[in-house]
Copies of this chain bind each other. A is one copy, B any other.
Amino acid sequence: MACNCANQYKKLDEKDIKFLIELLGEDRVFIGENINEDFSHDELGGISKMPDAVVEVQNTEEVSKIMAYAYENNLPVVARGSGTGLVGASVPLHGGIMINLTKMNNILEIDEENLTLTVEPGVLLMEIGKYVEEHDLFYPPDPGEKSATIGGNINTNAGGMRAVKYGVTRDYVRGLEVVLPNGKVIEVGGKVVKNSSGYSIKDLICGSEGTLGIVTKAILKLLPLPKKAISLLIPFPNLEKAINTVPKIIKSKSIPTAIEFMQREVILAAEEFLGKKFPDNSSDAYLLLTFDGNSKEDIERDYDRVAQICLEEGALDVYITDTDERKEAVWSARGAFLEAVKATTTEMDECDVVVPRNRVAEFVKYTDELQEQFNIRIRSFGHAGDGNLHVYVLRDELSQEEWEKKLSEVFECMYKKSVELNGLVSGEHGIGYAKRPYLFEQYGDDYMELMRNIKLAFDPKNILNPGKVCQ
């Protein structure tokens, strides 16, 4: 089922490089040893391949000309942002041209009457947050990796912690400028709030992992900035009790901004990693909830109700983290979980399945069983409020051979379990290269064929990021 397209492409030659240099100048075309090794992989690491050329683009016209040329000459192209992906989506499997979009990083317009922000794709998530907050506005999507580009976020339909209340990246993309594989430029959506004007190509581009078109501009939806936020750290005697409380919170009329779950061992790793104490580490499991609103009273009414629910369901206590110091202690730990877990082992791989919210406890319990069964360390934390788990399988002292075998068996079990619970392969990290087998297995031939047909509708020569998602 994998893409057997390697032979169909032309190998980049002198003439092609000359074209690129004429278009961009020598300073923005990198070949051979001048290409930084970073461009051969993303954060996943397991899969890597050097592109034949990396080009730094500055505007839509350049992207369009490169694509038109590549299309004409049958050259594979991969577009890349910060390279913070976790599934190998931006690895140039067939070499060719890599378009580096990180210098197209201008914030073009903030429109305070329509509550939109227009940006180039290379703007970093952290820059967007900072910029709009200075205007008393709010861009809700909040993936953990703040140094990702907005282009990358759009292409993975990135989620993050605030999805419980605010939804995911797709929900905040109003319009896109897209360069198609043949170099044509289209604008989809716009500043409008509603749209029933033909097939929603905007929504198809969101989450397509750079395979259907290259986003060169995005119009994002903003909200008024909530004035206050408060977090509650709630210890439970065990994880099951903690997670089983979540559907009851969801059903209450107080919608938290985020509901995260964490276990003692992950907290201890974070404390060691940061050299800082978490406000409490004496319990086995915790829920971390955030509430936002426009006044302290609004928020208090909301969290009072939720705290009550938690206590009724067996919570041991409720810590209110309303001081800056406490907030910092909690959220810096939460922010460091991934790195902290990574620091305890030699190598790890992760799965970000999403299951219905009332099946999270069952899934985590199953990973505990797998840990015993395969005698391998598994750590998880994640978004209890939206059913999206991040489960890390740790290599520790396993040999390469043992590691590959066990990892593959454990992943196979986890994805099977996810299907059984009506879950899906990826909640927010995407499919890229690494998760294709699990997607193929879950969706089956008819569904995958339809996706491949859609890919060909955009890219009949299959030159844009080939070998990914559905190929």
Contact = CB atoms under 8 A, between A and B. Distances in A.
Interface of A: 111-115, 156-159, 163-164, 167-168, 170-171, 180, 184-186, 188-201, 203-204, 206-208, 212, 224-227, 247, 250-253, 255, 294-295, 298, 301, 354-358, 383, 385-388, 422-431, 439, 442-443, 446-447, 450-451, 453-458, 469-470
A136 to B, nearest CB: 9
Contacts of A112: 251
Q: How many copies does the complex hold?
A: 2
B113 A358 contact: yes
Contacts of A383: 194
B200 A224 contact: no
B159 A199 contact: no
A397 to B, nearest CB: 33
A72 to B, nearest CB: 16
A446 B180 contact: yes
B196 A439 contact: no
B194 A428 contact: yes
Nearest to A188: B447
Contacts of A442: 197
A457 B186 CA distance: 19
A429 B447 CA distance: 29
A449 to B, nearest CB: 9
Given A115-B250, A439-B197, A355 B192 contact: yes
Nearest to A87: B196
Nearest to A246: B113
16 contacts: A113-B247, A114-B247, A114-B358, A159-B194, A185-B446, A186-B446, A192-B387, A193-B354, A195-B426, A197-B442, A198-B431, A198-B439, A198-B451, A226-B253, A450-B457, A453-B457
Given A113-B251, A192-B355, A357-B193, A456 B454 contact: no
B193 A431 contact: no
A199 B469 contact: yes
Contacts of A180: 446, 450
Given A224-B251, A422-B190, A198 B443 contact: yes
Would you list the 8 A-B pairs with minimal beta carbon distance, nearest first?
Answer: A203-B203, A453-B457, A113-B247, A193-B386, A113-B358, A194-B427, A191-B356, A184-B446
B171 A114 contact: no
Contacts of A431: 196-198
Contacts of A428: 194, 196
Q: Which of A168, A198, A357, A456 has the most CB of B within 10 A?
A: A198
Contacts of A251: 112-113, 115, 224
A429 B456 CA distance: 29
A171 B190 CA distance: 17
A189 B226 CA distance: 31
A455 to B, nearest CB: 8
Nearest to A116: B356
A250 B113 contact: yes
B255 A451 contact: no
B198 A469 contact: yes
A434 to B, nearest CB: 13
Contacts of A186: 443, 446-447, 450
A197 B431 CA distance: 6
Contact of A450 (B201, B295, B298, B469): B201
A266 to B, nearest CB: 21
A305 to B, nearest CB: 10
A240 to B, nearest CB: 15
A200 B206 contact: yes
Given A203-B203, A457-B453, A190 B424 contact: yes
A70 to B, nearest CB: 17
Given A112-B251, A446-B184, A199 B192 contact: no
Contacts of A199: 204, 207-208, 212, 451, 454-455, 469-470
Contacts of A470: 198-199
A18 B456 CA distance: 38
A192 B356 CA distance: 5
A127 to B, nearest CB: 22
Nearest to A137: B251
A1 to B, nearest CB: 13
